[in-house]
């Protein structure tokens, strides 16, 4: 099977290619080309050095040292599972991170080892534009992501013979907490296209790496499929595509202002040993923007001159690059634009300082969370510590353990980490008890508020669940069970004798699932036919009413015109509970995800 990797190195191009894949997926498949929606960021992370955590990995929660091993195993599983079912004989993926972030031989060796068991023909294609033009685009992106250094950094590199090596030599240690990332703050090594070509050819072979011209205006237009078809060597019979918007270039004065803000924000965070939320950082930058002219690529003529000889050799080898690698006419050499209007970054910082301190996270707290997560991950070791019967099984257990650890850290490093904070309500404090609600007196012929549910081996949890929902206003229960061996049927049978529930045996279910069979049967039950409101929930779900006295009557009074009410889950973690305990479920599990 053939694989074509579009490696950027610009995300704008890669993103547009992915958009074209989606728009023409069916037609491409008929042409023998599949464009599976495999996660390109995770593919990059599966190959990247464990300690080379850039801004993208940090924002995606992929900074765990185990990420590389875990995602490699994940992709092997993905390829083995999905490739046999793909009818096309040509796979195309677009991942700019491969071209713009991978820079060591070991990283490409990992990528090669990951792909070669499944593809016998691997083609690498990079789309490039003249270096000064792409540097302007990259500089805008980098400043918006927090870059503190001006373009003098790149201009100094023109004095070096080997741009690639000198650019990588600028790099220092990443400091994730303060927004210091090598890929953002330092010169893009990949602008040295000659070295980029040799770097990829060294691993994937000469003749298997191609450089194509990048014309974003054409690519983003209605005729965007033309370049994709030329790249893939197929006839363009796909017609027009939906154009995408290209953003206007950022004004040079805005870039100066934002870069100055990045510098003072980094220094502010370091001085106070605090982490500034990325979304707040972005908000600060947006608020200092100003209108004006963008940076002219011609002002970076020394960059163009540095690559003149190399580009001539590339054009000789790839003639289609002639127009793309033609530099803009030189103009006045670049100097950082005046930020205008007496702008002072420190004055803006003073205005934002209170909000930054209020919303920032102390680094000590973050480190404590990381240590707590590490301690929590040790419990996974205990859960999977039993010796396996053979080496293969042991390796599989280790892969599972690594994946659990990585996913655990990813959850804890995002806004979805478990907590009890709903905003105005402090759920860490015990609130006053609700006023007990007496049993409702129902009109003749009405079964009131009814829960219909399905159970299998839930005996320890039934009484609490029923008592809880009776307390908030459920009048009747219709419970279906199948294949129970733990006393569930006996508990429900006794509750039915007491007139509290209606229990139905569902052992002989048919169709796709016992749940669907039960729900279909329930429609003929009088308790359902005569109900005022019906809820279908499971025994591990508790309705949490956050209005009035916490009862269904209060809920219905708050929305008198409602005919249906959607209830969203709050996902709860294990909360350290690893064994069955004779305690209430709602007491044991009190840490959950945010209310999204």
Whether pLDDT at 574 is above 70: yes
Q: 400-434: per-residue pLDDT in tens?
A: 777 777 777 767 666 666 665 555 556 566 667 77
In this prediction, residues 72-101 reach a mean pLDDT of 94
Q: Which residue has the higher pLDDT, 51 or 444?
A: 444
Alpha helices in 318-461 (DSSP H): 345-359, 363-383, 391-412
Confidence category of residue 73, pLDDT binned at 50, 70, 90? confident
Give percent of the chain above pLDDT 70.
93
Range of the domain at 399: 361-412
pLDDT of res. 52? 85
Tokens 């301690």: give the residue: 375
Largest CA distance in the chain: 93
Q: Could you tell me if 380 and 491 lie in one domain?
A: no
In this prediction, residues 49-77 reach a mean pLDDT of 84
The rounded distance, in Å, linking the Cα atoms of 172 and 149 is: 13
Q: Could you tell me if 470 and 529 lie in one domain?
A: yes
Q: Give how many domains the chain has, as a whole number.
A: 3
Q: Could you tell me if 380 and 462 lie in one domain?
A: no
Q: Which residues pair with 90 in a beta bridge?
A: 2, 33
Tokens 């924002």: give the residue: 59
Q: Where are the beta strands (DSSP E) in 24-120?
A: 33-34, 90-94
Q: Could you tell me if 407 and 453 lie in one domain?
A: no
Q: Could you tell me if 245 and 374 lie in one domain?
A: no
In this prediction, residues 362-376 reach a mean pLDDT of 81
Check which CATH number belongs to the domain holding 317 and give it: 3.40.50
Q: Could you tell me if 493 and 385 lie in one domain?
A: no
Q: Which residues pair with 479 in a beta bridge?
A: 453, 503
**What does pLDDT average to over the chain?**
91
Q: Could you tell me if 48 and 115 lie in one domain?
A: yes
Q: Could you tell me if 314 and 456 lie in one domain?
A: no
In this prediction, residues 167-173 reach a mean pLDDT of 92
pLDDT of res. 144? 96
Q: Could you tell me if 89 and 198 lie in one domain?
A: yes
Q: 189-227: per-residue pLDDT in tens?
A: 999 999 999 999 999 999 999 999 999 999 999 999 999
Give percent of the chain above pLDDT 90.
74
Q: 537-572: per-residue pLDDT in tens?
A: 999 999 988 888 889 999 999 999 999 999 888 888
The rounded distance, in Å, linking the Cα atoms of 528 and 518 is: 12
pTM: 0.72
Domain assignment present for 352: no
The rounded distance, in Å, linking the Cα atoms of 200 and 202 is: 5
Structural domain ending residue among the three candidates 282, 304, 328: 328
pLDDT of res. 424? 57
Q: 379-392: per-residue pLDDT in tens?
A: 776 666 566 677 77
Tokens 């289609």: give the residue: 320
Q: 490-509: per-residue pLDDT in tens?
A: 999 999 999 999 999 999 99
Domain assignment present for 353: no
Q: Could you tell me if 384 and 481 lie in one domain?
A: no
């Amino acid at each position: 099977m053939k694989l074509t990797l579009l490696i950027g190195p610009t995300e704008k191009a890669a993103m547009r290619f992915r958009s074209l894949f989606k728009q023409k997926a069916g037609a491409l498949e008929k042409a023998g080309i599949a464009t599976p929606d495999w996660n390109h960021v995770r593919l990059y992370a599966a190959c990247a050095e464990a300690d080379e955590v850039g801004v993208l990995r940090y924002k995606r929660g992929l900074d765990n040292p185990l990420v590389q091993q875990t995602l490699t195993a994940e992709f092997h599983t993905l390829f083995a599972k999905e490739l046999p079912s793909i009818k096309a004989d040509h796979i195309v993926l677009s991942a700019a991170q491969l071209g713009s972030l991978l820079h060591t031989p070991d990283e490409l060796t990992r990528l090669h080892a990951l792909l070669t068991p499944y593809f016998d023909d691997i083609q690498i294609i990079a789309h490039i534009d003249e270096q000064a033009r792409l540097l302007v685009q990259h500089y805008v992106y980098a400043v918006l992501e927090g870059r503190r250094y001006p373009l003098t950094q790149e201009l100094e590199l023109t004095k070096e013979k080997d741009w690639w090596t000198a650019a990588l030599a600028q790099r220092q240690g990443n400091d994730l907490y303060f927004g210091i990332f090598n890929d953002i703050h330092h010169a893009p090594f990949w602008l040295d296209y000659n070295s980029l070509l040799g770097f990829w050819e060294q691993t994937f072979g000469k003749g298997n790496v191609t450089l194509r011209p990048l014309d974003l205006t054409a690519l983003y237009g209605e005729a965007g499929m033309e370049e994709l078809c030329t790249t893939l060597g197929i006839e363009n019979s796909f017609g027009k595509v939906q154009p995408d918007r290209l953003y206007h270039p950022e004004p040079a004065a805005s870039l100066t202002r934002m870069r100055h803000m990045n510098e003072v924000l980094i220094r502010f965070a370091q001085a106070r040993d605090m982490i500034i939320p990325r979304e707040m950082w972005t908000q600060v930058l947006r608020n200092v923007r100003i209108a004006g002219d963008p940076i002219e690529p011609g002002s970076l003529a020394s960059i163009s001159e540095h690559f003149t000889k190399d580009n001539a050799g590339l054009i000789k080898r790839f003639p289609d690059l002639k127009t793309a690698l033609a530099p803009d006419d030189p103009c006045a050499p670049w100097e950082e634009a005046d930020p205008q209007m007496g702008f002072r970054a420190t004055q803006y910082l003073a205005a934002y300082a209170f909000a930054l301190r209020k919303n920032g996270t102390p680094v000590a707290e973050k480190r404590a969370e990381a240590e707590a997560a590490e301690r929590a991950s040790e419990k996974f070791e205990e859960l999977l510590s039993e010796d396996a019967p053979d080496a293969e099984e042991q390796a599989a257990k280790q892969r599972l353990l690594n994946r659990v650890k990585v996913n655990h850290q990813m959850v804890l490093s995002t806004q979805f980490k478990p907590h009890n904070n709903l905003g105005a309500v402090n759920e860490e404090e015990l609130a006053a008890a609700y006023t007990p609600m007496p049993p409702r007196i129902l009109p003749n012929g009405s079964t009131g508020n009814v829960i219909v549910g399905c159970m299998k081996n839930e005996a320890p949890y039934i009484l609490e669940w029923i008592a809880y929902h009776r307390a908030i206003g459920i009048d009747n229960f219709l419970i279906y069970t199948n294949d129970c061996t733990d006393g569930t049927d006996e508990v429900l049978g006794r509750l039915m004798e007491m007139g509290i529930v209606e229990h139905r045996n569902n052992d002989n279910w048919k169709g796709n699932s016992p749940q669907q069979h039960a729900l279909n049967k329930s429609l003929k039950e009088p308790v359902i036919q005569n109900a005022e409101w019906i809820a279908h929930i499971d025994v591990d779900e508790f309705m949490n009413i956050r209005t009035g006295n916490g009862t269904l009557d209060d809920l219905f009074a708050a929305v008198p015109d409602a005919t249906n009410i959607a209830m969203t889950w709050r996902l709860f973690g294990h909360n350290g509970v690893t064994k069955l305990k004779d305690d209430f479920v709602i007491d044991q599990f009190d840490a959950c995800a945010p209310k999204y």
